[in-house]
Structure 1
C-alpha cells in the first residue's frame, strides 16, 4: 500500500522567493530518492502563495528516510519565517 502526503503551505508574500529557493531543489532531489513514486508542488489559482505538495511514497520507511534529508530539514528550519499560517499536513494510504 502506497503512502500519500498532502502538505499545504501558506507563505507570506514577502517570503515567496525564499520559500521557492528552498523548496524547488528539495522537489528535484526528492524525486530521485529510493521509494519516491511522485513528488509534485502546485500553487493555488485562488490564493496566491498557497502551495500544495503531493507526495507518493512506496512505504513508511521511504518517508522516514526522506524526512532525514538535509534539504527537507533546511525547509523545516525556515518554515516559521516563511509561513503566514500553520502548514496543513494530511497523510493516508492508497492502493497502488
Structure 2
C-alpha cells in the first residue's frame, strides 16, 4: 500500500534563502530514491514562509529507507533550528 506524507513547515524569515536551497537539494535526492513516487515542495500563496512537502512512497519500506538516508538526516538537522514553529506532519 502506498504511503503519503504531508509536512507543513513555517520557517523564520531570515532563513528563507538557505531553506530554499537545502529543500530543493533534498527534493532532487529524494526523487532518485527507489520507491519514491512523488516528492514536491509547495509554497503558500499568502505567506512566503509557509511550505508544504508532499511525498508519496510505494510502501512503508520505501518510506523507512528514505528516513534512514543520509540526505534526510542532514536535512532534519538543518531545518529544525530554522522553523518558526513545530511542523505539522500527516501520514496516510
TM-score, scaled relative to structure 2: 0.94
Question: How far, CA to CA, are the matches of 2:73 and 2:89 in structure 1?
Answer: 16
Q: Whose strand proportion is higher, 1 or 2?
A: 1
TM-score, scaled relative to structure 1: 0.91
**Two-structure CA RMSD over aligned residues (Å):** 0.9
* CA-to-aligned-CA distance 1:10-55 (integer Å, 9 cap, x gap): 0101001111121111100111110011100000001211010000
Give structure 1 regions of 4+ aligned residues with deviation exceeding 4 angstroms: none
Instruction: Name structure 2 gaps, 5 residues minimum.
Output: none
Q: Whose helix proportion is higher, 1 or 2?
A: 2
Aligned positions, number: 92
Q: What is the match of residue 56 of structure 1?
A: 56
